[in-house]
Structure 1
Amino acid sequence: MRNIQLTTNNKMYHVGLLFLAIVFASFNTAAEVSQSKSNLFDVTVIGQGSPIILIPGLMSDGSVWQHIAKELSDKHQVHSISIAGFAGTPPVDNFSLEQVKEQLINYITINKLKKPSVIGHSLGGFMGFLLASSTPDLIGKLISVDGLPFIAPVFTRTNDSTVQSMASQAQYIRNMYQNMTPQQVAAQTQQGIFIQAKSQAAQQKIVQMALASDPKTVGESIYYLMSHDLRSQVENIKSPVLLIGASGAFTQTSQQQQVEVLYKQQLDSITKAQLIMTTQDRHFIMLDNPTWLLKQINDFLEG
Structure 2
Amino acid sequence: MRNFIFVCALVLLAGVRCCQAQAIHIVKQGKGTGPAVLFLPGFTSPGSVWEQTICHLPTKTTSYQVSYAGFRGVQPIDTPWYVTIKGELLRYIQNEKLAHLTIVGHSMGGNLAVEIAAALPGKVDKLVLVDAIPCMRALMMPGVPATQLRYQSPYNQQILALSDDAFRQTARRLAQNMATDPAKVDTLVAWALAADRRTYVYGYTDLLQLDLRPLLPQVKARTLILGASMPDTLVVRRTFEQQYATLAVKSIRLAPSSKHFIMFDQPAWFYHQLSAFLTQ
Same structural fold, with TM-score higher than 0.5 when normalized by the shorter chain: yes
Partner residue, 1:61: 46
Aligned partners of 2:155 and 2:114: how far apart in 1? 23
Question: Does the residue aligned with 1:232 lie in a helix, a strand or coil?
Answer: helix
Partner residue, 2:217: 235
Counting matched residue pairs gives: 258
Q: Please identify the structure whose Cα radius of gyration is greater.
A: 2
Aligned partners of 1:138 and 1:58: how far apart in 2? 25
Q: CA deviation at 1:263?
A: 1.0
Measured at CA, do residues 220 and 115 of structure 1 come closer, stay the same or move farther in structure 2, by a change above 3 Å?
Answer: farther
Measured on the aligned residues, the alpha-carbon RMSD in Å equals 2.3
Question: Does the residue aligned with 2:125 lie in a helix, a strand or coil?
Answer: coil
Give yes or no for the alignment of 1:90 onto 2:75: yes
Question: Contact (CA 8 Å) 1:48, 1:73: kept in 2 or not?
Answer: no
Partner residue, 1:47: 30
C-alpha distance after superposition, 1:237-278 (max 9, x if no partner): 011111111032x2xxxx331121011111111110111112
Partner residue, 1:203: 185
Q: CA deviation at 1:163?
A: 5.7
Which runs of 5 or more structure 1 residues have no equivalent in the other structure? 1-37
More helix by share: 2
Question: Does the residue aligned with 1:102 lie in a helix, a strand or coil?
Answer: helix
Q: CA deviation at 1:93?
A: 2.8
Q: Which of the numbers 290, 293, 296 marks the counterpart of 2:267?
A: 290
Structure number with higher relative contact order (C-alpha < 8 Å, ≥ 6 residues apart): 1
Q: CA deviation at 1:233?
A: 1.1
Opposite residue 182 of structure 2, the aligned amino acid is: Q
Aligned partners of 2:183 and 2:66: how far apart in 1? 22
Question: Contact (CA 8 Å) 2:41, 2:109: kept in 1 or not?
Answer: yes
TM superposition score normalised by structure 1: 0.78
Aligned partners of 2:236 and 2:98: how far apart in 1? 35
Q: CA deviation at 1:73?
A: 6.6
Q: CA deviation at 1:173?
A: 4.6
Which runs of 5 or more structure 2 residues have no equivalent in the other structure? 1-20
Q: Which of the numbers 93, 102, 111 marks the counterpart of 1:117?
A: 102
Partner residue, 1:263: 240
Q: CA deviation at 1:202?
A: 0.8
Q: CA deviation at 1:153?
A: 3.2
Q: CA deviation at 1:188?
A: 0.9
Aligned partners of 1:174 and 1:135: how far apart in 2? 34
Partner residue, 2:148: 167
Aligned partners of 1:107 and 1:211: how far apart in 2? 29
Q: CA deviation at 1:124?
A: 0.7
Question: Does the residue aligned with 1:208 lie in a helix, a strand or coil?
Answer: helix
Partner residue, 1:129: 114
Opposite residue 145 of structure 2, the aligned amino acid is: Q
C-alpha distance after superposition, 1:162-219 (max 9, x if no partner): 5617835985554444434555443212023321111122111111111100121112
Measured at CA, do residues 224 and 163 of structure 1 come closer, stay the same or move farther in structure 2, by a change above 3 Å?
Answer: farther
Measured at CA, do residues 40 and 169 of structure 1 come closer, stay the same or move farther in structure 2, by a change above 3 Å?
Answer: closer
Measured at CA, do residues 190 and 42 of structure 1 come closer, stay the same or move farther in structure 2, by a change above 3 Å?
Answer: same
